[in-house]
Chains A and B, each alone.
Chain A
Amino acid sequence: MKILVAVKRVIDYNVQIRVKEDGSGVHTDNVKMSTNPPDDNAVEESVKLKESGKVKEVVAISIGEDKAQESIRKALAVGADKGIHVKADSYIEPLGIAKILKKIVEKEKPDMVFLGKQAIDDDCNQTGQMLAAMLNWPQATFSSKLSIKEKSLEVIREIDEGLETLEINLPAIVTCDLRLNEPRFASLPNIMKAKKKPMELLNAKDMGVDLKNRIEQLKVEEPPKRKAGIKVANVAELVSKLKNEAKVI
């Protein structure tokens, strides 16, 4: 069995982003970047399945500028076997990303594609579902537990009401929730070894897919600021404020 796992390089989740003054986007120069957190869960799960002997090969893919290779190297250091970097110099919407991934799937023929459930920068939560539609594969989104059976997967999904269990046939698309596992850290020797693992280089322009973005970003602005609050001295004052000033209780 073979897994393709998709990773995205994003602004690190701890960074307080700054919106550009001209409204064209957010500052990314000299800002700490890292792999999108749910993608780390996807990589971890792929490697765990490989360690369990159920999966033979794990291929990590990232689409983006040259530095996206850092996220691929991180996946290789954790235990992926091979990397694919599809170079793209500007932002591609999930629809375009899914089209590129479809091409890669047709070439690599994985039994499963793992993705994070959403990227923490554009917060779309679309790519996995779109890829499933394009391939006409079943999908299990927001997964927090999975087990591989003969020709299918049993997946527990996080839904608003609680949990849901599905059984879906392979090949399939799985998007990962943060609760799926605890991603491991790569050790220094493994980071060194990862430098020797193969990395295939492709270019988004040469994939033969329409990458024109359909959604124009007219402007990006800061959300309205909340006005400063006060600190109360004790519980009695808090309750009195809530009752008499805010009138919420």
Chain B
Amino acid sequence: MSVLLIAEHDNSKLKPFTFNAITAASKIDSDVHVLVAGTSCENVSKETANIPLVKKVLVCDSPNYQNYLPENLAPLVIKVSEKYDHIVASANTFGKNFMPRVAAALDVSQVSDIIKVNGPDTFVRPIYAGNAFATVKSNDQKRCVTIRPTSFDAAEKSGGSALIEKVEAVDIPSASKFIKREETKSERPELGTARIVVSGGRGLESGENFKLINDIADKLNAAVGASRAAVDAGYISNDHQVGQTGKVVVPDLYIAVGISGAIQHLAGMKESKIIVAINKDGEAPIFSVADYGLEADLFTALPEFLAELNKLNTIQK
């Protein structure tokens, strides 16, 4: 029996995390089928069919699925899922929103945010803000699983030639209406997939001072993150928040500036390969996870850091 993955896309291309979710899905069952639901999403289905790990693409092209309203998407997923043992999606705001709706309708207990596949029914997932790892076995006939994308490599993008099959749309209820989406536009790499992340916390003291973080980020071609304290104080918008209730990031290099390192923040970044902490409080918990800690006032350290980076003749992109 195969695994059905629900693709996340913007009707022109797949979102990056879908590639990671495909890798995870292929570890559950090698026969990976991907559902692409959207509006004029022909390009997305072609792109999906090119992924070597994908064996079949199911396309449902209908205005019903333009904005991923879970009330609309869940009935389609339920209908398509009849032939599948596993239904999977990324554990980001896309997957978290609709998947439990699918699970409940199928009377299935969902396994959220898995970081490892031990077998078709056994998974590892973090609990308590990542301070414990639970190995769980799902005894349901069908299994709804969401995947922590940063725990799996992205699938190869070309060389595949999966079959593309059309799926009929399902009637949608009318109890919910999409009004608008305000996306934070940025020239910088996406936080979830960036190789380097520079994050600022309450220590920045103001939104204007985030320029110090932005300058370093631009120099390193990095994404900008933030602690909840910085977001709550209005220094930067919410979608930059790293942590248990924000985004989980696993970059090669994470630079935490003026962030104390509360349990909830560590949950979102402590799997990073290299962690740097710049903080004037030598006792801050962030130093307990930092590979390189610099005990210094960020207002002197950051300009120096930028000057040092400018001296380097090679910054790896």
Contact = CB atoms under 8 A, between A and B. Distances in A.
A167 B176 contact: yes
B292 A232 contact: yes
A166 B316 contact: no
B102 to A, nearest CB: 8
Given A161-B239, A167-B179, A216-B136, A141 B96 contact: yes
A166 B69 contact: yes
A108 interface: no
Contacts of A1: none
A172 B294 CA distance: 49
Contacts of A17: 128, 131-132
A27 to B, nearest CB: 11
B253 interface: yes
A216 B109 contact: no
Interface stretch (A59-67, A116-124, A185-193): A116-124
Majority SS of interface residues in chain A?
A: mixed
Given A160-B94, A226-B270, A239-B309, A154 B179 contact: yes
A207 interface: no
Contacts of B139: 214-216
A208 to B, nearest CB: 15
Contact of B101 (A11, A93, A133, A218): A133
**Chain A interface extent, by class:** 35 or more
A16 interface: yes
Contact of B293 (A95, A160, A232): A232
Interface stretch (A46-54, A68-76, A78-86, A240-248): A240-248
Contact of A137 (B93, B134, B175, B264): B175
A229 B279 CA distance: 15
Given A133-B101, A161-B183, A219 B134 contact: yes
Interface string B213-243: 0000000100000001001100001110000
B312 A158 contact: no
A37 B52 CA distance: 43
A93 B132 CA distance: 18
Contacts of A142: 93, 96-97
B126 A214 contact: no
Contacts of B291: 226, 229-230, 246
A215 B134 CA distance: 11
Contacts of A159: 93-94, 181, 239
Interface in A102-153: 117-118, 120-134, 136-139, 141-142, 144
Contacts of A248: 196, 252-253, 273-274, 316
Contacts of A55: none
Contacts of A32: none
Contacts of B220: 249
Interface string B155-186: 00000000000000000010111111111100
B299 interface: no
A98 interface: yes
Contacts of B109: 93-95, 213-215
A246 B277 CA distance: 15
B5 interface: no
B253 A123 contact: no
A90 interface: no
Contacts of A88: none
B184 A162 contact: yes
Contacts of A163: 181-182, 238
A134 B125 CA distance: 25
Contacts of B175: 137-138, 168-169, 172
Given A16-B263, A160-B247, A123 B104 contact: no
A11 B263 CA distance: 13
B112 A219 contact: no
A231 interface: yes
A94 B175 CA distance: 24
A164 B70 CA distance: 13
A40 interface: no
Contacts of A216: 136-139
Nearest to B282: A231
Interface stretch (B55-63, B200-208, B300-308): B300-308
A205 interface: no
A236 B97 CA distance: 45
A30 interface: no
A192 B133 CA distance: 40
B51 to A, nearest CB: 21
Contacts of B71: 138-139
Nearest to B308: A239
Contact of A246 (B103, B263, B274, B295): B274
The 7 closest A-B pairs by CB, nearest first: A129-B100, A130-B104, A214-B109, A133-B104, A126-B100, A165-B179, A138-B176
10 contacts: A13-B263, A17-B128, A133-B74, A161-B183, A217-B134, A217-B135, A220-B132, A229-B287, A231-B287, A249-B315
